[in-house]
Chains A and B, each alone.
Chain A
Amino acid sequence: MSYLHLSIALIFVILPIVLSKTLNLGLEKDTIIAVIRSIVQLLAVGYILKFVFDSENMIYILLMVTIMIFAATQNARKKGIAINGITWKVAVTLVVIEVLTQSILLGFNITPRTAQYIIPISGMVIGNSMVLAILFLNRFTAEIEAHQDETELILSLGGTPKQAIHTQLITSIKASMIPTIESQKTIGLVQLPGMMSGQIIAGANPIQAVQFQLLILFLLITTASVTSAMLGYLSYPSLFNQRMQLLRRK
């Protein structure tokens, strides 16, 4: 695709702006900012990736992955700002997910040890983990707020913090995992996944594209469960003090 063709595709951006103006949605500015940011960010990433792929230097790969984890942490932590130390808890979770998935992929030679595979797969895993962390923290914060009386009840009867928060924790872990599991049930029937579509458009063998997509789906299930469970069990102790009292939320 040439840059001329890509420019013509901007019609798809003009349409929602006109619609927003007509219906007084007030989204014109946000749409323009989103488009400009995506153009700049993706082009920059494209050139950076080209440089990293050409250099084949492990330091650059590590640097890219570190930047991804940093950016994802900054984004996800906002939803759990009331939880003490949420930044490092999210960061540790993302690092563990990345190390776990890449260790299996590279350790069993499932994917080649090159930047071309490591970076895009890391991006999908870290990005998905970030979304899961946001979903979990959003729900967990709401559950704690809504069920403060029950938490206090269990503490008052001689329960431990873990017992007091168990129901809210499990509900939040399950709720954050459901979108991943549900979307995989209809995959291929309702929509073709982005990565697979991209490979097919780029001329890859559809069977090979499916194989890679399946690999990613398997990774995302692990990502979903490990992210929610790990973040949950790292987060809940911060809600209590050493005297097993529920810390008042400010």
Chain B
Amino acid sequence: MTTDYKPAVNFNHVNYSIEDAHILKNISESFLEGKITTLVGPSGAGKTTLLKLCNGLLSPDSGEIFIKGKNISSYDPVELRRLVGIALQSAPMINGSVLKNLALPLVLQGKQLAEDEARNLLHDVGLEAEFLHRPIKDLSGGQRQKVSIARTLVNHPQVLLLDEITSSLDRVSQQEIEELIGKINRKHGTTIIWITHNLQQARTVGHYTWVMMNGEVIETGKSELLHSPVNEKVRLFLKGEVE
């Protein structure tokens, strides 16, 4: 990706396999600092694995990953995961209230989350304050996803990884989240890497886009590339001819 911006996350010949299956093949690309990059591609392309490598939940078999210019293996894993936050697609929750879930990142550090701060977080993701003491099991899929995003923001990550966070939301909630992520990006200069299956969303929210297939990044560039891709496989994917 040619640009004047610094890379926030840099992949250098990264490979990742599970047993005999090559999930990621020789990835050498960069996510630019302060930009929103969307990741699109068919299921099984290796997008989620790529995010988990950035957050240190997985390590590459070979190759190097640099976060803010520092080799990922030099980071303390806890420090890395607070610097690079991830909102997972399944939005896993711990038993208890919404407040308990929002407070989790701070509780893990031996701190508490003030109720006012928790209310502000809920407001940011479009949930009413009354949700704060509601049991997490009473929330809908979309509401859980919003709590998951708010919880990830508690650590104030400099790089934010989003895995299909709006897939279970209605159109209004999707727009609220898109606006929220845009606001976080503009206000704090947070680098955002966002997996989405919604191509319209990828076109509108992202500054840049990576198209992945079969563990490879086959086309990168400004999100406009989704209007006129160079690669034939990408063209077929955008037409819906590659699942």
Contact = CB atoms under 8 A, between A and B. Distances in A.
B55 A156 contact: yes
A155 B57 contact: yes
B92 A160 contact: no
A232 B93 CA distance: 24
A150, A152, A167: residue with the most chain B Cβ atoms closer than 10 Å: A152
Interface residues of A, number: 18
Contacts of A167: 94
B114 interface: no
Interface in A138-162: 149-150, 152-160
Given A152-B88, A155-B57, A244 B104 contact: no
Interface stretch (B39-47, B74-82, B218-226): B74-82
B82 to A, nearest CB: 4
A245 B105 contact: no
A248 interface: yes
Contact of B88 (A156, A159, A163, A243): A156
B225 to A, nearest CB: 30
A149 B90 contact: yes
A67 to B, nearest CB: 40
B86 to A, nearest CB: 5
Nearest to B151: A157
B174 interface: no
Interface in B46-96: 55-59, 73, 77-79, 81-82, 85-86, 88, 90, 92-94
Nearest to A250: B19
A162 to B, nearest CB: 11
Given A152-B92, A153-B94, A158 B18 contact: no
B21 interface: no
Contacts of A160: 78, 108
Given A150-B92, A160-B78, 9 more contacts: A149-B92, A150-B94, A154-B108, A156-B55, A157-B81, A157-B82, A157-B152, A158-B82, A160-B108
Give 7 nearest A-B pairs by CB, closest first: A149-B92, A244-B77, A158-B82, A158-B81, A159-B108, A153-B92, A157-B105
